[in-house]
Amino acid sequence: MRKIIIFATMKVEQITSAQNPKVKLLLELQEKSRTRREKGLFVVEGRRELEHCLEAGYQAATVFVCPEIFGEAIPALGEGQTIGEIPALGEDINVIEVPAHLYDKIAYRGGTEGIIAEMKAKPHTLDDLRLGESPLVVILESVEKPGNLGAVLRSADAAGADAVIICDPRTDLYNPNLIRSSIGGIFTVQSAAATSEETIAWLKARKIQILTAQLQDSEWYYDTDMKRGTAIVIGTEATGLTDAWRVAADAHIKIPMLGRLDSLNASVSAAILLFEAVRQRNS
């Protein structure tokens, strides 16, 4: 993994007021998906998440650094000299130095090591996905909670899944809560957003079997072959999957529920099913 490096040749600006337009834009990018879409920017906090983001090929536009927290000042060094240890950001960006009291106001969460970056967004379409042989894909339909999607991305990363596809999403992929809960998994796992109809056609064209997680007309998940190209499809906890997925499915699978409740959290279900695929493929 590359070190994150702040170059002395970057433009460095000092800001101390929360009323500064650049600070206001940063806060708006954190809070409003509409602003993220209009500006083509999103916000990443912390060294780990920023490292994953840069490794995934994203470009930084503006970086806010608090020297007291980051651990390094930003002096005027000679050309070619660097400071800090946070993958190379490049030289054509704006670096804004902020004091600790202002950083506390602009940081979306604590413990982010004194660095926040505005990054340039990239498209997340089905055509952008690059799949391996016998791909393993997770599909979430109409997911609402960024935390759930973030947790699924972490499981997908751990299981070595090829991609996560969000159908008819109700949250955007650059929501700060999603980035935080995925601990950067949104950058380490290929992801795409599309309609259910588009995704079904895309899967069928690639001969990837569709397994829908549902209680009705289902077989146990561990009795289902997941060694070939497989898409595991999970719906919302409240309403489950739409009929479009139930009809398109090659098989319906279920997880044993031995208590009084009849469903698991979507991210838990995804983890169980993903690692069954891992077990089968490594047995």
Count of H-run helices and E-run strands, the chain: 11, 14
CATH of the domain at 245: 3.40.1280.10
User: What is the per-residue pLDDT for 144?
Assistant: 78
Q: Give the model's pLDDT for residue 109.
A: 73
Reading phi first (left if > 0) and then psi (alpha if -120 to 50, else beta), residue 130 is in beta
- Out of 120, 147, 178, pick the residue that ends a domain: 120
Identify the domain boundary among 120, 138, 169.
120
Indicate the SS3 state at residue 1.
coil
> What is the predicted pLDDT for the residue at 92?
64
Total domains in the fold of the chain: 2
For residue 169, tell me if it sits in a domain. yes
Give residue 84's pLDDT.
45
15 and 86, same domain (yes or no): yes
The answer on 276 and 161 residing in a single domain is: yes
The predicted pLDDT at position 76 comes to: 36
Same domain for 185 and 111 = no
Question: Do 74 and 136 belong to one domain?
Answer: no
**Residues 92-104 pLDDT 10s:** 678 888 999 999 9
* Nearest one of 9, 139, 161 to 81, comparing CA atoms: 9
Any domain includes 1:
no
Question: Does the residue 81 lie in any domain?
Answer: yes
Look at residues 120, 140, 163 and tell me which one is the last residue of a structural domain.
120
Per residue in 220-245, pLDDT (tens digit) is: 999 999 999 999 999 877 677 889 99
Domain CATH code at residue 67: 3.30.1330.30
Which parts of the chain register pLDDT below 50?
1-3, 5, 7-9, 73-87
Q: Is residue 141 part of a domain?
A: yes
Side-chain-side CA neighbours of residue 194 (13 Å): 20
pLDDT in the model for residue 72: 56
Residues 269, 132: one domain? yes
Are 144 and 267 in the same domain? Answer: yes
Q: Which phi and psi angles does 213 have, rounded to 5°?
A: -85, 110
Residue 235 in any domain: the answer is yes
| In a shared domain, residues 48 and 80 | yes
132 and 268 belong to one structural domain:
yes
Q: Does the residue 155 lie in any domain?
A: yes
Q: What range does the domain containing 185 cover?
A: 126-281
pLDDT of residue 146: 87
In whole angstroms, give the CA distance from residue 150 to residue 148.
Answer: 5
264 shares a domain with 147: yes
Residues 154 and 267 in one domain: yes
Residues 132 and 92 in one domain: no
Residue 219 lies in a domain: yes
Does residue 75 form part of some domain?
A: yes
Please give the pLDDT value at position 8. 44
What is the C-alpha separation between 90 and 173, in angstroms, rounded?
Answer: 24
This model's pTM is above 0.75: yes
Residues 23 and 43 in one domain: yes
DSSP 240: B
d(CA 96, CA 98): 6
